[in-house]
Structure 1
């Protein structure tokens, strides 16, 4: 379950804060306008505020200003243009098709542009319902702009005043996801759990975690922190150091399961990891409440028991020796994780101090860059562009929806049918399918709930209270449980949209039929000009391999101490994580598509898991070199690392490079370094997993080639 849906964390999440802020702004502006003007004017202002609120998402202040300003200007222009065209039938339909196409092309700018696309479609459909004279259109457009601009000013002020609180909440969400990821690792030590299945869950959670960590970076690392925000920066950096340690524990599940099944060791390891997950969650829980955190988890009993087991291990050789080395390495990593969690607690209690990063470090590569180039839009005006085909699909579906709604035997609300199409149709078939189910269930429940409310409640003040709650819920659950948003939006629309059009205040049953019609049309058009996920797989797989090759270059520089710091290593690791998250998301979407459109799912799963293991091996190597710094034979270790990394990169498609060789007799003494055997074992495992990555990539290429 998403952390924000849990009762004890819901009221402290940024999702609820955002919903409360949006509802307060919309209802407040509506009431303020109604106090000095008539009801239609108040409704027009409310529509402007509502459309602008769709762009009110957690973002850095500068990005939020740009996003909301784009929403105000674009939606106001759409409202004015559609209203001016409303008295000429053919012109109105031409404008609707063009606006539907152009607003859907906005999706080319990424996920943050999708609310703008929907906001434009929403205001277009509402403005097209009632014919307007030019004077009425200008008056309505001005009121809509005033509502949007007023909400923007309100939201920017509130977010500016509560900026630190928002950063806390977003950072806490990243910590919650890290706790979920860590807890999934505990299942890898449970013999009753399928290890491949558990690793697939870990990979999916990695994608979610990467997204939450990026949101944390964008808010916390951008700009100069205030003294009060310095603690958040310290916790943020400690979180990423902890994440690398947790990642390093991914490497030895198989050998531990084979050699220690049925004994006390695996349950001990699983319990320790589970406790660590709860300890991380405690940090997140305290942060959502703006409190310093202290550990309430006692590891001593389990650590003592594990230490006793390690002391009692009999001498072994061959595979037994490897298994014991893996067990000791895992125990050491878990100890490092526990120590880092203690540092995480301490960071949350630290006094205000300096930003804990390297001087003159350029953090730009870690941050999401906001670029809205007209060239990108024009470059996608081609038949091969998935966004271009999506825009055509939306324009055709909405046109069909508006026309077909006029053939129904009752007075149809064409905008409701078209709005259903706009809600359901998304760039990917997978998301369209999910939205279809959520929209149907949400509308059915929302209409039934509204009918019950209107039957019982007749006082305007109470209905306004219901509208406020529905507006809070619609915004709160938008990105975490859309079905709840669909319920709330139906209640909100049935209470509010009826005020916008004269005949729109009744007919709940008719609205259900309109929703069903819109759903059928959207379902049909989801197969028109489709973009199936398998078509993008070759590019995504190659992006992962390319990112991994660069990552191993950066890892070699870090481990061989050829760089001044680890900034380049962190940048390359982030790029690998991003590319794997993108591939994993595409794989998940593909599995929701028709079976005939799925390609090599098992090979893609294996490829993704093995690539994560490569990251884990490098993290384990870094931890190993930090654990045994004394008497480190730098030249010999460097030569071993370079040879191994050269082989790994060759397997990942890089041109083979000459590996350094050691003169005879130079390696006779390095076995005295206690980390040498562990290093050799880790490099063997790294090379074996890299070979499996290469095999999986070849199998994917063959599967795609056959199809």
Structure 2
């Protein structure tokens, strides 16, 4: 049932309506060619209709429409001799694919242009002039834009609710993984990898929600609905940050929980309940009466506080540090509880005070604007650019694929290049996966279609099944590409069965063309201008470290100055999480590549984990100092933060010259002599004032600074190893 409520399904239905109505009207008025032109225009622009603000969707569809009009016009004149056709096809493919340098939406516009280019080989005009056909394709894109905009106004909350719902569920999964990492864990490395992947997915959802909420505020003013959902979103971000936060490093916590397993059980039970409640909220987002009450969590907190007090009174003074560790961990969970209660309150439709509304000026700082400078084209005309190599590779393989189709006189040689542009992606792992899924899906679809066409001979049934298969295919393309490929194959075969009497021949060539296209895509990624991740992951490492450095400087500055939490700290936090997500994604791409191309993957993995640990420690500091009244920063605090900053700056310099292609540096990096202070780092605590709050602060600040310093030293040694 959830599938039919999803925006993926509604968009697929929208595409189905957009492409079938022009064809039906064309058949009814004996103007099928016009209907097909409108159908193609709508279909080619649909990829730009993705999650995000309405304004960005509309701009994306309009630019797609403009591109497909131009390509349709040019494509109409491609009925030329082969020695001219092939270079023109290559140049057009490269130019259209190269548009992707301008970001995600540009890559979707590029895909629309490639579809229009490929299918210009399939459609031969009989009654229309080329310019008329191109203009009608443009009208078709406007037809789709109209439908998409109307659907948005009919159901404006659908996208927001679905993305928010998914974010709740992912946050619950994230908390559950953090629960599993508590205490000694034999599979910690695997769990940390899963955690980083999940964090990347969460960050993507956060980016989508930022665009939806902030752009909505710009266009529609201070909507009460959007204000409340925005405040819920803010709590979800802080829930993730606090979940990452860890009051000390894992080794110390492991020893503590090994000695006192009852605390491990209690904390795991507490986090598990948080996760459970988030899932229930996700399932009942607009039904606050169905939200779980707070009694279960309150009881667990009471048990933990009682056990902690007993632990404090029964143990000797040397165990006081362990008590502080547990108390700080409990404080983090209390903050989670406060955030969870606020989410429930906000979703219960309360009256929002003006002071709680986030101003537009602050919101603007959380949106990353895409650089559309024309100079970006010239900067990417280099073999160092992944998009440049992908565009060149795609152009070569499209020419080769079309040449194979012509040479062997295939029924529809353009199916080969259609398969290539759909499958081939800039990354090896994704292309390999899509090639495999496309082949399997096509074979399954061909088998099913073969059985059905022998049982059914009614062209109207074929048409209905073709449209139904198309809708299902588009609704599943993001969630299950193999199933999507199956239904695309069914749709193509059913539609061709209406106009082509020799159905087995259609199926045969469909399978053969898909196999050739998938094989060419995979071989090209492996051997033709490969862009292995080790060649560019140093840039991701540098960006992640720069973001972590800026976040650390914001935290230390705020700890020194106190006062109102500056927006810049939250912006730097967002950027640190975003760059960490990019780094994790880059490493995952590397892990999917052939082992022979995974240069120094263990060292790179260690650098990724260190950066993740560094961010976790920063999240701990950030969460603590924003939610507690802290004492004046001591001279030792300033001295150590300066030392960490010096290390980070030095690492950034070394990352500029990092190279994973050659042999590692034979010499060993020697760190400067430095003794970490043993006494506490807050002036008010050096005299052992009998204040538990100050002792907790001193313990946490010192532990985090020591951990950050240790991590920066490790990074210095690792980056020096590959510094050329």
Aligned pairs (5 A) from 1:614-625: 614-625=614-625
Please say if 1:672 is aligned against 2:672. Answer: no
Cα gap change, 1:518/1:311 in structure 2, threshold over 3 Å: closer, same or farther? same
Aligned to 1:345: 344
Aligned to 2:645: 649
> Contact (CA 8 Å) 1:603, 1:699: kept in 2 or not?
no
Q: Distance in 1 between matches of 2:95 and 2:123?
A: 23
SS at match of 2:692: coil
> Contact (CA 8 Å) 1:174, 1:212: kept in 2 or not?
yes
Aligned pairs (5 A) from 1:216-255: 216-222=209-215, 223=218, 224-249=221-246, 251-255=248-252
Aligned to 1:374: 374
SS at match of 2:94: helix
How far off is 1:668 after superposition? Answer: 4.9
Q: Distance in 1 between matches of 2:704 and 2:122?
A: 63
Q: Distance in 2 between matches of 1:345 and 1:703?
A: 50
Aligned to 2:701: 683
> Contact (CA 8 Å) 1:45, 1:143: kept in 2 or not?
yes
Q: Distance in 2 between matches of 1:428 and 1:292?
A: 46
Aligned pairs (5 A) from 1:520-535: 520-526=519-525, 527-535=527-535
Q: How many residues align?
A: 692
Please say if 1:274 is aligned against 2:272. Answer: yes
How far off is 1:399 after superposition? Answer: 0.4
Deviates more, 1:318-327 or 1:330-339: 318-327
Q: Distance in 2 between matches of 1:28 and 1:453?
A: 25
Cα gap change, 1:46/1:292 in structure 2, threshold over 3 Å: closer, same or farther? farther
How far off is 1:589 after superposition? Answer: 0.5
SS at match of 2:361: coil
Cα gap change, 1:230/1:357 in structure 2, threshold over 3 Å: closer, same or farther? closer
> Contact (CA 8 Å) 1:628, 1:674: kept in 2 or not?
no
Deviates more, 1:569-578 or 1:221-230: 221-230
How far off is 1:324 after superposition? Answer: 2.8
How far off is 1:225 after superposition? Answer: 3.6
Query: What is the RMSD of the two structures over their aligned residues, measured on CA atoms?
Result: 3.3
How far off is 1:352 after superposition? Answer: 5.3
Deviates more, 1:396-405 or 1:178-187: 178-187
How far off is 1:316 after superposition? Answer: 4.2
Aligned to 1:446: 445
1:24 to 6, 17, 20: 17
2:712 to 677, 683, 694: 694
Question: What are the superposed Cα offsets for residues 397-438 of structure 1, whole Å, 9 maximum, x if unpaired?
Answer: 010001112233x63321111111112221111221121111
Question: What are the superposed Cα offsets for residues 623-680 of structure 1, whole Å, 9 maximum, x if unpaired?
Answer: 4446653xx5x33x35454334223222212699xx9999999755463332333333
How far off is 1:116 after superposition? Answer: 2.3
Aligned to 1:537: 537
How far off is 1:292 after superposition? Answer: 6.9
2:87 to 94, 97, 102: 94
Q: Distance in 1 between matches of 2:35 and 2:508?
A: 27
Cα gap change, 1:701/1:234 in structure 2, threshold over 3 Å: closer, same or farther? closer
> Contact (CA 8 Å) 1:603, 1:696: kept in 2 or not?
no
Unpaired runs of at least 5, structure 2 = 652-671
> Contact (CA 8 Å) 1:182, 1:273: kept in 2 or not?
yes
Q: Distance in 1 between matches of 2:335 and 2:704?
A: 21
How far off is 1:573 after superposition? Answer: 0.7
Aligned to 1:46: 39
Aligned pairs (5 A) from 1:104-503: 104-129=97-122, 131-132=124-125, 135-189=128-182, 191=184, 193-222=186-215, 223=218, 224-249=221-246, 251-261=248-258, 263-287=261-285, 294-295=291-292, 298-313=296-311, 315-316=314-315, 320-351=319-350, 353=352, 356-359=356-359, 361-408=361-408, 411-496=410-495
Q: Distance in 2 between matches of 1:237 and 1:500?
A: 55
Aligned pairs (5 A) from 1:594-633: 594-625=594-625, 629=629
Cα gap change, 1:54/1:132 in structure 2, threshold over 3 Å: closer, same or farther? same
Return the TM-score normalized by structure 2: 0.87
How far off is 1:590 after superposition? Answer: 0.8
Q: Distance in 2 between matches of 1:296 and 1:193?
A: 35
Cα gap change, 1:291/1:306 in structure 2, threshold over 3 Å: closer, same or farther? closer
> Contact (CA 8 Å) 2:644, 2:712: kept in 1 or not?
no
How far off is 1:247 after superposition? Answer: 2.4
Q: Distance in 1 between matches of 2:499 and 2:93?
A: 21
Unpaired runs of at least 5, structure 1 = 1-7
Q: Distance in 1 between matches of 2:54 and 2:160?
A: 11
How far off is 1:218 after superposition? Answer: 0.7
> Contact (CA 8 Å) 1:624, 1:675: kept in 2 or not?
no
Q: Distance in 1 between matches of 2:404 and 2:277?
A: 57
How far off is 1:327 after superposition? Answer: 1.9
Cα gap change, 1:42/1:130 in structure 2, threshold over 3 Å: closer, same or farther? closer
> Contact (CA 8 Å) 1:168, 1:290: kept in 2 or not?
no
SS at match of 1:599: coil
SS at match of 2:508: helix
Q: Distance in 2 between matches of 1:74 and 1:467?
A: 27
SS at match of 1:675: helix
> Contact (CA 8 Å) 1:639, 1:662: kept in 2 or not?
no
2:8 to 4, 10, 15: 15
Aligned to 1:3: none
Q: Distance in 2 between matches of 1:428 and 1:703?
A: 27
> Contact (CA 8 Å) 1:293, 1:349: kept in 2 or not?
no
